[in-house]
Amino acid sequence: MTDDCNNACLHCYNLGRRGRCGAGGAEGLSRECLRGIIRGIKHDAPLQQVALSGGEPFLRDDLAGIVSDLAEEGLAPVVITNGTLLSASRLRRVPKNTLFEVTLFSADAGLHNRIAGRRVFRRVLEGLARVERHKCAWVLAFVVTRLNAHDTARTIELGIALGASAVMLNRVNLSRRAMPIARRIVPPALLLRESLAAADRAAATYGISIAVSVPVPPCVVDPREFSHLHFGWCPRGGNEAYYTIGATGLVRPCNHSSVILGDLRIMRFGDIVRGSKARGFWKPVPRECLQCSHPLRESCRGGCPAAADECYGTREQPDPFVKFARG
């Protein structure tokens, strides 16, 4: 929706962010243009769900109208937000079937604020209480870093107490901006294992669905150790692929990549995602990963190729998370 954001998260990979709070991103497409793009995509693909992100999507005054448009198109809208702008007036304009994905970095106010870059913890909790009163569902998004991994269980429990219907627990994914502080924010393998184990116990105890969608390479921690967690892998352009459309209509392979595959203002979605540039993006597999004998090798294929591309300039190296997590 926009590159602008009112937070300044330590691990931010917002490609359009400039300055401490990401001001000054490119002007986004109009509501009418966005609806036309969505209709074009529906013609080319079995589209079911659209996630609206940023930056912070609530910085767009017409967000509620865009969400309504998606619902009218028969799609399930998801709003990915930092939770700081969930005012009563904004929520009243949003359809009640909207799903929110809200970031909470810790059950500790000071730690959440430190990672978010602003003193916003109380505002997020107040916003979540309003979401509950508005009868909308929300999912807790918890990013595991070296700073907050120890607080995994308490944060999940806080989310459940506030009405979270599910949890998305993702290890931090590195970008060019975050590489200089990688050793400060990437959890070592042992700490990541402890975080995943805490989440696994919470899933079993409370019966809540917990998904780990950013790949955890098995050479760091073996996902098979955690029977109550749902692990995802990079779809690499396959049937479960999720493409990212930037605020100006440029299509990227995913939200972690800056590679431009095409422009939806002048091209069809089907032509873009079936084109040679898109197919070529997913092909490389790191040479050292070809020698891997782990049963999950074909699912992993080196972790996040976009992170490798952004940080190293090539997708033929493993995800940089591997290097820092293994120490």
pLDDT in tens, 47-89: 999 999 999 999 999 999 999 999 999 999 999 999 999 999 9
> Could you tell me how far CA 75 lies from the centroid of its own chain?
19
Domain residue ranges in the chain: 31-282
Minimum mean pLDDT range among 10-24, 76-90, 198-212: 10-24
CATH of domain 31-282: 3.20.20.70
- Decide if pLDDT at 21 tops 50: no
For residue 23, what are the contacts with CB-CB under 8 A and spacing of at least 6? Answer: 4
Q: How far apart are alpha carbons 321 and 158 in whole angstroms?
A: 28
Query: How many other CB atoms are found less than 10 A from the CB of residue 24?
Result: 11
Whole-number pLDDT of residue 122 = 98
Quick one: pLDDT band at residue 316, thresholds 50, 70, 90?
very high
Whole-number pLDDT of residue 97 = 83
Q: What is the pLDDT of residues 249-276, one digit of tens each?
A: 999 999 999 999 999 999 999 999 999 9
Whole-number pLDDT of residue 162 = 96
* DSSP structure class, residue 255: T
Q: Which residues of 153-173 are buried (b: 16+ CB within 10 A; e: fewer)?
A: bebbbbbbebebebbbbbbbb
Q: How far apart are alpha carbons 72 and 74 in whole angstroms?
A: 5
> Could you tell me how far CA 56 lies from the centroid of its own chain?
12
Whole-number pLDDT of residue 16 = 60
Whole-number pLDDT of residue 22 = 39
Mean pLDDT of 228-255: 92
Sign for the pseudo-dihedral over CA of 151, 157, 163, 164: positive
Whole-number pLDDT of residue 96 = 85
Quick one: pLDDT band at residue 135, thresholds 50, 70, 90?
confident
Mean pLDDT, the chain, integer: 93
Taking CA atoms, 86 is separated from 67, 128, 289, 305, in Å, by 15, 7, 44, 34
Rg of the chain in Å (alpha carbons): 19
Whole-number pLDDT of residue 20 = 39
- Decide if pLDDT at 123 tops 60: yes
At 37, which helix (H) or strand (E)?
A: helix 31-44
Q: What is the pLDDT of residues 295-307, one digit of tens each?
A: 999 999 999 999 9
Sheet containing 250-252: order of strands: 244-245, 250-252, 262-263
What is the share, in percent, of the chain residues with pLDDT greater than 70?
Answer: 96
Q: How far apart are alpha carbons 86 and 103 in whole angstroms?
A: 12
3-class SS of residue 291: coil
Higher confidence at residue 27 or residue 189?
189
